Structure 1
Amino acid sequence: MSHKIFINLPVADLETSMAFYQALGFTNNPHFTDQTAACMELSESIKIMLLTHAKWRVFTDRPIPTSDASEVMLAVSCESRTAVDAICEAAAANGGIADINAAQEHGFMYSRALADPDGHVWEPFWMDPAAIPSDAD
């Protein structure tokens, strides 16, 4: 069995967050969506659960980070540099913030970072493994 990742994110406004992630290419899985949570799928292996703050608190008593705090940076691979740029442009046009961190250009790897409406940071990146310098190990 191959591994899959399911990311749970607390969100202040479920509809706004669903629209944001749809603009980035995620699709909604209605089987796991209701007024308190939405399952958004990027691929067969990558799914996120957007949870209202009330739903989030069912699972943990830990505080929800503020939108200006760094909790994690979720890196996701893209097919090309152009795809990295397109995701960041879509984020900025749909309520997110593009380039929340400086872009990284290493020749064999290119990445940018964006924040969703709740401040969750994503790092779309492109990498050409064949071009990794031998001294990068």
Structure 2
Amino acid sequence: MTKEIWLNLPVKDILQTTAFFTKIGFKLNEHAPKSDSMASFKIGQKDFIVNFFTEAVFKSFTPFQIADVTNATECLISIDAENKEDVDNMLKNAAEAGGKVFAAGGEKDGWMYGGGFIDLDGHKWNVLFMDFSKFPQ
């Protein structure tokens, strides 16, 4: 049986990536090795780990091409927020750190509030607050 799951993503510049994700509130994974080719962050209450690797290192993990995410989405990485304000703050922080908001915070279906941003390398992130007490029965 599996013990953990984590996400590995390719990036062009580790220092810029580290600065970006630190500015939006992710916490550095202090247990990961310090390197100029890797940055590791813990996200959320359960410390989900996201590792960012330089493209050269990432390419060594797989025989496949790195996806061109300029005009495509390889996946949508979703983050569960505590409230609407946290959604808006993360979107604001992402924009201020150099990312691009592709969907401003807004209501959906009466029980969700969310928006999305694109990081410095084109990866798409979705930030949602879900109020299940308002979920249609």
Give the shorter-chain TM-score range: 0.7 to 0.9
Measured on the aligned residues, the alpha-carbon RMSD in Å equals: 2.0
Runs (5+) with no aligned partner, structure 2 = none
Amino acid of the residue matched to residue 12 of structure 2?
A
Work out whether residues 87 and 105 of structure 2, in 8 Å CA contact, stay in contact via their aligned partners in 1. Answer: no
Normalization by structure 2: what TM-score?
A: 0.88
User: Counterpart of 1:31 in 2: which secondary structure?
Assistant: coil
Q: Where is the strand percentage greater, Structure 1 or Structure 2?
A: 2
Q: How far apart are the structure 1 equivalents of 2:81 and 2:6?
A: 18
Query: 1:62 maps to which residue?
Result: 64
Q: How far apart are the structure 1 equivalents of 2:62 and 2:12?
A: 16
Change (3 A) 1:2 1:64: closer
Query: 2:54 maps to which residue?
Result: 52
Once the two structures are TM-superposed, the CA of residue 29 in structure 1 deviates from its matched residue by 2.1
Runs of 4+ in 1 over 3 A off after TM superposition: 1-5, 101-104
Runs (5+) with no aligned partner, structure 1 = none
Q: How far apart are the structure 2 equivalents of 1:119 and 1:54?
A: 17
Amino acid of the residue matched to residue 23 of structure 2?
A
Q: How far apart are the structure 1 equivalents of 2:29 and 2:47?
A: 13
Normalization by structure 1: what TM-score?
A: 0.88
1:109 maps to which of 108, 112, 115 = 112
How much identity, in percent, do the aligned residues show? 31
Q: How far apart are the structure 2 equivalents of 1:86 and 1:103?
A: 10
Amino acid of the residue matched to residue 120 of structure 2?
P
Q: How far apart are the structure 2 equivalents of 1:45 and 1:4?
A: 11
Once the two structures are TM-superposed, the CA of residue 67 in structure 1 deviates from its matched residue by 3.7
Q: How far apart are the structure 2 equivalents of 1:67 and 1:2?
A: 29
